[in-house]
Amino acid sequence: MQTNALFHQPFGAYAFPVAPHTLCVRLRAARGDLQSAHVLYADRYSPLGQDRVAAMDLLDYDSEFDYFQAFLTLPQPRFRYLFHLDDGRSQVWYSQGGVLSNPPNTWHRHFEYAFIMPANLYSVPEWAKHAVFYSIFPDRFANGDPANDPPGCHPWRVEPGEDEPAVYRSFFGGDLEGIIQRLPYLQELGVTALYLTPIFLSPSVHKYDTTDYYQIDRHFGDLETARRLVDRCHAAGMRVVLDAVFNHCGQEFFAFQDVLKRGARSLYLRWFELHGLPVQTDPPNYTTFANGVSRMPKLMTANPEVRLYLLQVARYWTQTLGIDGWRLDVANEVDPQFWREFRQTVRSVNPEALIVGEVMTRADAWLQGDQFDSVMNYPFRQACLDFFATDTIRADEFAARLARLRAAYASPVHQVLWNLLDSHDTPRFRTECREAAERQGGAAVGHSRDRQALAAILQLTYEGAPLIYYGDEVGMEGGGDPDCRRPMIWEESRQDQELLTLYRRLVALRKELPPLRCGCYRALVRDGLRNVFAFWRGPAAEGGEPRPAAGPPVVVVLNNHPLAQQVEVPLPQEAGCAAASGQWQVEVSWPLAAREAIMLPEAGAAASGREAGEHQGARMDRLKPGGSILSLQMPAYGGAVLVRRP
């Protein structure tokens, strides 16, 4: 047994409560090493020898490790536990004392989770588990009130090729009234929550250099307009999340201006990290956002005065507008104690407020339940970029990337992670696909929209909360910042109507089927040779984590390959996929016209006892007798979402 690969810790993503009396425990082991894993557990205060036994299920695996999971329930939620592991050649016990040949003779050498208290439970807002988010850069979405346009606005339509930075750093006149007027479009798309980049007073287009945290930027509207937007959204069943820029302010912010004018006599001297007096802005002799961005002085959020000011800002807008949450800019550069106080402040006003951090790497430290509910899931984006757009990883490695991410966070977090393909800070996904296809040539040319479509199918059916960047649904393009912030295309003749139809169908299906919003996930096919990836969404198995996901099981199949291929998808009986009643139907397909041709007549052939995916070299999800196979004819760069209907 490869004991050096074993890992568990009694906290974080490896031990977390999912109910007042139920603890989820996870174990990492070398891939393919264990034939079985069990947890022996009991009340911390019960005598040895009175342990209950729970079999561990294989949660997922990557190229190096298997990740096992079990759920432990006790009347008194105080746990001691250890693992019994069998690789077919030897059996060991794994506990706080390490790897042992015999069970420890004292409970002090067991792992412990002392007590599940209410504060230990992840308080993720229920609405966010069911949301489809839409990200809006206000200056570029819609101009609803030309009277508030800044001087020198560019005309809304920018022709292809007119993409020099000077243009895209200029104003186009988008505003809050424009968002209000386009709410019917967003309702038809089916989104249920809006995320707006900053709307407070600032001299720039992007508004990440705040001048006044208590004033709506006059070129976007005023307080009454903002209230009307939030009220209209709520009336339409949409939530509103605003952007909080608390890592830094703008150069015109009153406190920084006071430091510039009064120097050592300023009351706000310690709000900033100064490297000398007098303060100089060119080059800056103070700490800024990024490197030497003089117009964005960094705020010292460890300073109690700064914390108090910003917490009052958060409380004011949460109360005044009745917003539903905050997205936190540059969250990993802010004092973590500030975020803990921020969470308490915001939740005291709105207990269902969603708190999302901008952390572009794995964010374990911020997702322990005391700071953020979610983060912008950039590792998810990178995996999608590498698999669908640039073709630098194959389906097996793509599945492994997702597996590592799933093992990194507690499952309540996964239900609300913002799964994005692009943002106002990245190139458009469609552009990444096109440029990669042009570099590859051959069969890849002409399939850039197909690759985006496959990524969209995954984004809107995978575990977590999809975040659509405005215009992706109509095929908008754009390179790196600021080119990714082009004005929204509203002329239907310039929109990709087939892609828009795909997005609408996917969103509608996600809203219809609870398993797509809060069901469990299992990889079914991860074929690196033929580049096919398939997965299942459905309710938890008996004895597993409780999830309110009643509804038919769903299977998603993605053929990320320039050739049409016949694909066999093994269906595990224990997941409810192989029920005797009902039949599988293709609810959404790409291309849209392929819907009727994907299912083959021999779909549902028996697979008695055969190991799922063995023809792809996969090892997960062994079929029990009575399992079945879905046989599909997948078009080149084609995707399908199948639902078992009664």
Would you name the residues annotated as active-site residues? 329, 358
Contact 39/56 with Cβ under 8 angstroms?
yes
Beta carbons within 10 angstroms of residue 95's beta carbon: 22
**H-helix or E-strand containing 640?**
strand 638-645
Assess contact for 624 and 572: CB atoms under 8 A: yes
DSSP 8-state symbol, 617: T
Instruction: Report whether the peptide linkage leading into residue 278 is cis, meaning its omega lies within 30 degrees of zero.
Output: yes
User: What are 242's two structure tokens?
Assistant: 């605003």
Cα–Cα dist 266/361, whole Å: 37
Provide the token pair at 117: 């208290």
Other Cβ atoms closer than 10 A to 374: 28
DSSP string for residues in 126-178: HHHHT--EEEE-GGGT----GGGPPTTPPPS---TT---HHHHTS-----HHH
Closest CA to 312 of 374, 226, 244: 244
108 CB-contact burial (10 Å; exposed 0-12 / middle 13-18 / buried 19+): exposed
Under 8 Å between Cβ of 328 and 372: yes
HSE-up of residue 265 (Cα within 13 Å, Cβ side): 2
Pairing of strands 212-216, 325-328: unpaired
Buried b (16+ CB within 10 A) or exposed e, 468-497: bbbbbbbbbbbbebbbbbbbbbeeeeebbe
Torsion of CA 447, 449, 450, 452, to 10 degrees: 130
Contact (CB, 8 A) for 103 and 93: yes
Q: For residues 316 and 7, give the distance between their C-alpha atoms in angstroms, rounded to a whole number.
A: 45
Q: Is 309 helix (H, G, I), strand (E, B) or coil?
A: helix
Q: From residue 529, give the alpha-carbon distance in Å to each of 64, 188, 203, 525.
A: 19, 39, 52, 11
The pair of structure tokens assigned to 446 is 């002409």
Q: Residue 419's beta-bridge partner residues?
A: 466
